Chains A and B, each alone.
Chain A
Amino acid sequence: MQIEELSATTSGPVFMQRFAIALALLVTSAASVQAATAFISNEKDNTISVLDLETLKVVKTVPVGRRPRGMVLSPDMKELFICAGDDNRLEVMDTATFEITRKHETSGPDPELLDISPDGKILYIANEDDGLVTVLNREDGKALAEIQIGVEPEGMAVAPDNSVVVATSESTSMAHILDTKTLKVVANVLVDTRPRVAEYNVDGKEVWVTAEVGGTVAVIDSATRKVKLKFGFEIPGVRPELIQPMGVKFTRDGKRAFVALGRANRLAVVDTATYKILDYVLVGQRPWHIDFNGDGTKIISANGLSNDVTVVDIASLKAEKSVPVGRLPWGIVVKP
């Protein structure tokens, strides 16, 4: 009907313009067919829930090794790497078919969290039981090195320029900075009790480290490798010991950060210029890890104690919907 109208009533330039709009609409709807997908690791179910972020429906539940926790997407987004801690291995999922294609027993014992180099070639894996970081070649799954750090390694973040990797060890309360060329520890930075997650900000000048028991975030200056400042959280009516900072993500414009606060059941919204808390958003119970949807307009939390994920709209800072997944959801990674 619209086309009829167009052909019947419009002359050249106007027609072209309308045609362009129609084309743009077509392209947009074609793109939305390729909806973003969230992968959620269910620690107690030994599965990965695959969530279509358009429909917010779980499209597949994939059985994996025991106690799946940390996950990372390859830069080309074709593969998802999953730590199966109790099976002491890394599993690799094809993100198009959702099939497990490879299993690497070379991940080191009890892998918990991991990160991948920007060129997609090297994986850095925290081995929680043995105080190690295992460096793995993605191509053939060969372990290239084991680096001894502190007790209970967890957080892992490769610098955007690929120069160093920041690993945290929970019991030692440190962030360790490892040189990616020499594979040696080049600095140890003491932070608050039980550091969990390390995350580089958008320009790579800072790395934020959350301390679950200490209840704070340490902002480490990438250049000086010193703690620039630490900030905590205060929520009226929530006891301090329930505030357990865990996952951190920065918005694409770098202006805000979201911090999952564990048993406080909230995400904190932080202004990255002033380090002030702008708001707290109530989500499900014990959010651990978080990630953005495909276009960065929503943030989604994996809630361990309520067995669901919560979608939060970033513009309005409102929790829009919670979707049940498996038992004890731990990690979440979105393929845009």
Chain B
Amino acid sequence: MVSAIGEVLMRAHVVALLLVVCLLTPARSEEAPAGGGSVPSVHAQIAYLGKSYAEAEPLSLVDKIYDDKGVQGARVGIVEDNMTGRLIGHDYKLIEAIVAEDADITVKARELLAGGVTMIVADLEPADLLIVADLPEAENAIIFNIRSSDIGLRHDNCRRNTFHIPPDWAMRADALAQYLVWKKWYKWALISGERPKDKDFAAALRRSAKRFGGKIVAEKTYAYQGGSRRTDTGHQQIQTQMPLLTQNLGEHDVIVVADVEESFGDYLLFRTFEPRPIAGTHGLIAASWHRSYEESAATQMQNRFEKRAGRIMTERDYSAWLAVRTFGEAVTRTASTDLAALRTYLMSEKFEVAGFKSQGLNFRSWDRQLRQPILLAGPRALVSISPQEGFLHPKYLTDTLGYDEPESKCKLKN
């Protein structure tokens, strides 16, 4: 009884204190207390929710196999959020919650949400992501997809509580298409794998061709049974198979390849029937991050990451880093962890996050996908950055990449 009264009193006291703090603190404090208060005023908990999915191994032995893609980026991000937070009395905690592929994701998700962890960095495939997003407890959560390029998630399957950091297949295909058209390589021969993600990217390439004046002059699918990247005598077979695959494609300027699952894409390079460049998932690729990228202070990010993680920064690491930084930016600027305030801020004109792309990045209002310039990289060096010169848009040039507002099937009210 006594303790209950005590608790009520305590609570009333806390509420009164909060009110005082609210009254004293402007919504967007320009000046922060010096040196960081000893008692942080804002605590932000960010969950890294993922599954350890079995992934296709990269074909090239040059690409190392990592089982911690993504989470390493989040770890660097949280250190940076705390470096900023420390100065203004905010602190951040990263809760790593990675479960087995066959685990029921709802168990971990519910546990986090019940514990009040409502800022979620989701390293999940689309089906699992939607299960989490649709949990009643997650209704007001803020979820950042950092893994999937699935168009559906930003389209018919979009969710009010889910934002997308990596570019989807459409943005990537458009980024490539603009460059190919700028090069006047209009005639494309499309070779795609037969797995679902290969088909998704192939469909995006077809759409991009139509959008930007390219023409798919021939199409082939290829079902190379991969599975082992170690093939001691493999190259002779590949050397005879690839010319066969790329024969009779008609007159074409470039071969575009959709092999997301790494079963043959790299084998096309230098082995085509006619001497042609390769673009798509291999050869010239479209990505939000690449080790060869150094502009706009990207070098600093590459160095910071490598120092902490002991390996190069992959695209998923970049997405996770950016997701954690986006939470940090929103908390810093609103001086709050209130979900409604954060969401309003993330969707507002005021929001921008810096991601080493020489411009502020923000979210598209219609599908909550991050606007960003896309890197075009060859196997060893950066080639270009899209959008390309001359592709215009009344609002954001980056909105020439992917589904623009009128084309979007995402019907969310903000």
Contacts and interface: CB of A to CB of B under 8 A. Distances in A.
Interface of A: 110, 128-129, 131, 148-152, 169-174, 176-177, 184-190, 193-194, 213-214, 225-227, 239, 241, 244, 263
Nearest to B355: A213
B83 A151 contact: yes
Contacts of A244: 358
Given A171-B84, A185-B35, A190-B333, 12 more contacts: A129-B303, A151-B84, A173-B332, A177-B34, A185-B34, A190-B30, A190-B88, A213-B360, A225-B31, A226-B31, A241-B359, A244-B358
A123 B286 CA distance: 43
Interface of B: 28-35, 80, 83-84, 87-88, 297, 300, 303-304, 307, 325, 332-333, 352-354, 358-360, 397
Nearest to A149: B87
Given A186-B35, A213-B359, A131 B83 contact: yes
Contacts of B397: 239, 241
B358 A213 contact: yes
Nearest to B352: A193
Nearest to A185: B35
Contact of B87 (A170, A172, A193, A194): A172
Contacts of A174: 32, 84, 87
Contacts of B32: 174, 187-190
A152 B301 CA distance: 9
Nearest to A241: B359
B347 to A, nearest CB: 17
Given A152-B300, A170-B297, A185 B87 contact: yes
A150 B328 CA distance: 13
B226 to A, nearest CB: 39
A213 B359 CA distance: 5
A189 B354 CA distance: 18
A314 B15 CA distance: 59
10 contacts: A171-B84, A172-B83, A173-B354, A176-B87, A184-B34, A186-B34, A188-B33, A188-B87, A193-B354, A227-B31
B31 A188 contact: yes
A193 B358 CA distance: 11
A329 to B, nearest CB: 16
| Residue from A131, A171, A244 having most chain B Cβ neighbours under 10 A | A171
A152 B297 contact: yes
A131 B87 CA distance: 12
- Rank and list the top 3 A-B pairs by shortest CB-CB distance, nearest first: A241-B359, A172-B84, A188-B32
Nearest to B80: A151
Considering residues A174, A193, A213, which has the most beta carbons from chain B within 10 angstroms of its beta carbon? A213
Most chain A C-beta atoms within 10 Å of own C-beta, residue among B33, B35, B83, B325: B83
A148 B353 CA distance: 23
Contacts of B303: 110, 129
Contacts of B359: 213, 241
Contacts of A187: 31-32, 34
Given A186-B35, A214-B360, A227-B30, A150 B84 contact: yes
B131 to A, nearest CB: 34
* Most chain A CB atoms below 10 A, which of B28, B31, B32, B307: B31
A194 B354 contact: yes
A226 B300 contact: no
A194 B303 CA distance: 18
Given A129-B304, A187-B34, A194-B354, A150 B360 contact: no
A155 to B, nearest CB: 13
Contacts of A171: 80, 84, 325, 354
A273 B249 CA distance: 68
B83 A150 contact: yes
B352 A213 contact: yes
B34 A241 contact: no
B317 to A, nearest CB: 16
A294 B30 CA distance: 37
Nearest to B88: A188
A148 B84 CA distance: 11
A148 B260 CA distance: 43
Nearest to A172: B84
A119 B285 CA distance: 54
A189 B31 contact: yes
Contacts of B30: 189-190, 226-227
B363 to A, nearest CB: 15
A187 B87 CA distance: 9
B87 A213 contact: no
A151 B308 CA distance: 14
Nearest to A128: B300
Nearest to A177: B34
A165 to B, nearest CB: 14
B310 to A, nearest CB: 16
Contacts of B33: 188
A225 B35 CA distance: 14
B31 A190 contact: yes
Contacts of B80: 151, 171-172
A215 B277 CA distance: 39
A244 B30 CA distance: 21
A110 B397 CA distance: 34
A227 B297 CA distance: 26
A205 B30 CA distance: 18
Contacts of A131: 83
A225 B360 CA distance: 26
A128, A172, A186 interface centre (most CB from chain B within 10 Å): A172
Contacts of A188: 31-34, 87-88
Nearest to B32: A188
Contacts of A177: 34
Contacts of A152: 297, 300
A221 to B, nearest CB: 10
Contacts of A110: 300, 303
Contacts of B307: 129
A175 to B, nearest CB: 10
Nearest to A189: B31
B360 A241 contact: yes
A131 B83 CA distance: 8
A110 B301 CA distance: 13
Nearest to B325: A171
Contacts of B325: 171
Nearest to A215: B360
Contacts of B332: 173, 190
User: Looking at A188, A193, A244, which has the most chain B CB atoms within 10 Å of its CB?
Assistant: A188
A225 B32 CA distance: 10
Contacts of A149: 87
A177 B307 CA distance: 28
A164 to B, nearest CB: 11
A128 B397 CA distance: 30
